[in-house]
Structure 1
Amino acid sequence: MEHDPHHDPHRAPAGAEKLRAWWSHRQWLDRPHTGASAADVLAATGWARSVGGSAPYLGLFARAGLGRAEVDAAVARLEVHELPAARGCTYLLPAADFTLGLAAGAPAPAAELAAAEKHLGVGRDEVEKLCLAVERVLSEDEPLDPTTIRELVGDAVRPLGEAGRKRGVATTLPLALGLMQSRGRIRRVPVNGRLDQQRYGYVGWDQPVTGSPADLARRYFAWAGPATLKHFRWFSGFTAATARRAVTEAGITPLAAGSDLLLDPELAAEFAAFEPPAAPHHTLLAGIDGIHLLHRDLPRLLDPADAARPLPAGRAGRSFGTEADPQTHVVLDRGRIVGLWEYDTERAEIVHLPFVPPDDALRAAVARTETFIREQLGDARGFSLDSPKSRAPKIAALRAAAAGATGRPTG
C-alpha cells in the first residue's frame, strides 16, 4: 500500500474530526459571538453547570466575551439564574428555560424526601408544614440565609441526629428548601452576587414549573446532537424507557441508518454540508464546560495519542482518556482538547500544558483568558472546594510537564 504522507495514526479519523468540529460549532466555540447576552449564549448552547466554581464565567467569556460584571448583572435582573435542573444538579439557565429546568430537576428532591422518610423517619406532612412556615418568613426582596430561616421558623425545623448527619441531612430544613426550589416557590440568591462563591440566601418566588421529557430532548439535541441515547440519559437522568419515549416524541432520528448517534432532522442538512474550519480557534474552558459535560464522554474530544497521556499529579497508571471528567481545565481547538491549564494565584498566571506546538494564536488565547481571570475573577476555581492550596500539586505537575515538553518553564 502506498504511504500517505498526510496520514497520522495518532490522530482521530476524519469522521471524528467533523463531529468534534460540529459540536464546537454548535457550542459557539468556533468564533466569538460578540454582542450576545448571557441568556442568548445559554439558550443556544445549553445550560451551564455551576458548582461554586468559575465554569459559567469562563464559558460565557469564551463564547461571547462577556465580563463578570455583565454576567452578574444578568443574574441580578433574572435574565439568567442558577436553578436545580437536570438530575437535580445546579445549572445556570436562561429565563426562557426556567420552567423546563425546574420540571427536569423536580424528581431529585422528591427522591431525597422519600429516602428521608424511609431511613430517617421524616414524615411528608412534617416537611410540607415546614415549607409553609418557610414561605411565611421569606420576602421577595431580602434574601435570608439558612441560619436565619431556621431561627425564624423555630420548632418547625427538626434536627435529624447522627443518622441524619451521616446521610448529609442534619435537619429537615434542606429537604423543605429543596422541594420549594423545585416547585418554583423560592429561589437561591448568591450573597455577593457572584456565581463562583457558595454563600446563598433565599427569597420568595412564584415561578411556574412545566415541561415534558420531549421538551428537554428537543433542547438537548439542539445543543449536543449528534448524541446517543446514553448521552441523553446521562444529562437528563431519565430511565431508558423515558429517554426513548422522549426522543421519539421529539422527532429525533438516527444520524444515518444503523447509527446510534441521533440528531434533530432539522439540523441534518446543515450537518451534512458542514466542513471543519481549516484555521485553529483556541478557547480556554473549565473542565465541566458543556462541550464535555453535555455528553460526559471524554474520549470523543481526544485524539488517541492524547487519550494515552498520563494525568498531571494523577494516580499511577491512569491516563487522560480513562477519566470520566478532566481533572484540570482544558484548551479546545475545533472540538479537540489540545491542552490543560490551571490558574496560579500566587504568580497571577495561567500554567498551560499544550498538546500541540504553541503558536501566536494559542499564546494570545492564553494571555486573553489570563487577563480576564486576573482582573475580573481573581481565581479560576473548578468547584466550590477548589482552592489554590488544594490545586498546588496539579499546578506544579503541569508546570513540570510543560517545561519538559518545551525545554523551558511555562506560565
Structure 2
Amino acid sequence: MANPEPPPAPIEKLRAWWSRRQWLDGTHGGATPAEVLDATGWARSVGGAAPYLGLFARAGLDREAVDGAVAALEVHELPSARGCTYVLPAADFALGLAAGAGAPEGELAAAEKHLGVTRDEIEKLCLAISQLLSRNGPLDPSAIRAGVGGASRSLGEAGRKRGQSTTLPLALGLLQARGLIRRVPPNGRLDQQRYAYAAWDQPVVGSAAELAERYFSWAAPASVKHFRWFSGFTAATAKAALAPLDLTPLPGTDLLLPSELVAEFQEFTVPTTPHHTLLAGIDGIHLLHRDLPRLLDPADAARPSPTAKGGRGFGTEADPQSHVVLDRGRIVGIWEYDTEREEIVHLPFVPVDDALREAVDRTGRFIREQLGDARGFSLDSPKSRAPKIAALRAAAAARPNG
C-alpha cells in the first residue's frame, strides 16, 4: 500500500515561514538595502513610505542609509513587473526593466489607435530627449518639454480624457523601459513622486524563467496564480516560465516550493516568541502574493474594516486599506500615522503587551524623526487620511481594554 500523503502544513507554519523568508524575524540587522531587496524581493513604490518602512522593519535601516544607496545606484526605483514601479537592487536592474518592457509599448499602441499618434513621431521625440539629457541632464519634465520644442505636442481634449495630455510621457516611458534614461528624485527621497530625468546606459536583459526563479526565491511557497499576479503573465507564459524550475507541490495545497527548500521547510517550526513589525499595506509580505486572507485569522478576516467603505470585512479586501502590524506572518492590527499629534494610531486585533507597544513606539520614532509622515501613496495626505485616523481611534477606544 502506498504511503498516505502527509497532511497540509498548518497556516500558522506557512505564515511564520513566509515571515522568516521575508526577513521579518529580527535577525538581519546591519544588512544593506541591496541585500534586503535581493533576498526578500522588490519593494513596491507608489510615492509613499513603503520602501522605508520595509527596509527599517527588516534590517533597521535608517533613511540616510536608504537614500545613500539610491544616490549610489545600489538600489533604484524602476518600472518593472506589470509596468509598475518597484525599488530594485542593482543586480536586478536589467531583469526588472525586461519584466516591465511591455507596458509602455502597450500605452503607445493605445495612443496610436485612439489619439492619432505615430510610432515615428514618438521615436523622433525619444531621440530628441536622449540628446537633450546627454547634454544637459538631469532635467524635470517642464525643462524637457521646453528643450525638445516642437518634437512634443499636445494631444488635446481626447488625450486629456485618456490621461495623455501630451506625447512626452509616451516617450519618457519608452526610454525608461529601454534603460536609456532614469528618474532621479530631486531631494533624493523615495516617498514622493517628483522627478528629474537623467541619461542612462542600462542593459535590458532577462527571461520569464529568470523572473520566475527570482519570484519563488522570495515568495515560496506560492501558487501559479500568485506568480501570475506578480508577473502579469498569461497562463501560457507562466507555464513556460515555471517549466525549467525544480518546484515541489506542498501536499493538500496549490502551493509550490523550490525543491532545495523542502527539507528546511519540513524541519521549520513556528517561533514561540512574538515578533511584531509595522509595515505598509503594500509590503511584499502581502503584495508578492496579493492573497490577503492567508495572513488573517478567520475571526480577524470577518472584522468590519473601519477604514474601508461600507464596513467591509478585512478578509474581503484585495489590499489592506491601512498599514499593517504583523506577528510571525499574521496580521494582528492596522495603523496610520497622525502628523498633527506625531504618533501612530493603532487598532490591535490581539491583546497589547510590552513587546507590541515597543514595536509601535520604535516605528513611531523612526517616522517622526526621519520621515515626517508615512503616506500610503503619493496622493495620501494628512487631510485625506483624517477620516481613517478618526475611525481607527474610535475603533481602538471601543475595544474592551481600549
Report the TM range for the smaller structure's normalisation. over 0.9
Deviation string 1:244-302 (CA, Å, 9 cap, x unpaired) is 1101123333223x641111111111111111111100000000000000000000000
Contact 1:86 1:105 in 2 (8 A): yes
My pick for the range that moved more, 96-105 or 29-38, is 29-38
Indicate whether 1:190 and 2:185 are aligned. yes
3-state SS of paired residue (2:191): coil
Distance 1:32 1:164 in 2: 50
Indicate whether 1:206 and 2:201 are aligned. yes
The one of 357, 363, 377 aligned to 2:371: 377
Alignment of 1:112-131 (within 5 A): 112-131=107-126
Contact 1:287 1:328 in 2 (8 A): yes
Distance 1:317 1:286 in 2: 21
- Give % identity: 76
Contact 1:161 1:170 in 2 (8 A): yes
Measured after TM superposition, the shift of residue 117 of structure 1 is: 0.7
Distance 2:141 2:88 in 1: 23
The one of 17, 22, 26 aligned to 2:17: 22
Deviation string 1:67-124 (CA, Å, 9 cap, x unpaired) is 0011000000000000000000000000000000000000101111111111111111
Measured after TM superposition, the shift of residue 47 of structure 1 is: 0.1
Distance 2:215 2:77 in 1: 18
Distance 2:301 2:390 in 1: 21
Indicate whether 1:174 and 2:169 are aligned. yes
Alignment of 1:21-60 (within 5 A): 21-60=16-55
The one of 82, 88, 94 aligned to 1:93: 88
Aligned to 1:160: 155
Aligned to 1:280: 274
Contact 1:32 1:65 in 2 (8 A): no
Aligned to 1:234: 229
Distance 1:161 1:141 in 2: 29
Measured after TM superposition, the shift of residue 141 of structure 1 is: 7.9
Aligned to 1:255: 250
Indicate whether 1:349 and 2:366 are aligned. no
Letter of the 1:284 partner, please give it.
L
Contact 2:347 2:396 in 1 (8 A): yes
Distance 1:126 1:58 in 2: 42
Contact 2:307 2:321 in 1 (8 A): no
Aligned to 2:63: 68
Distance 1:250 1:209 in 2: 22
Measured after TM superposition, the shift of residue 14 of structure 1 is: 6.6
User: TM-score, normalization: structure 1?
Assistant: 0.94
Q: What RMSD, in angstroms, separates the aligned Cα atoms of the two structures?
A: 1.3
Aligned to 2:318: 324
Aligned to 1:245: 240
Distance 1:313 1:253 in 2: 39
User: TM-score, normalization: structure 2?
Assistant: 0.96
Distance 2:308 2:113 in 1: 39
For structure 2, list consecutive stretches of 5 or more residues without a partner in the other structure.
1-7
Aligned length: 395
- 1:140 and 1:152, CA in 2 relative to 1: closer, same or farther beyond 3 A? closer
Distance 2:23 2:135 in 1: 35
For structure 1, list consecutive stretches of 5 or more residues without a partner in the other structure.
1-12
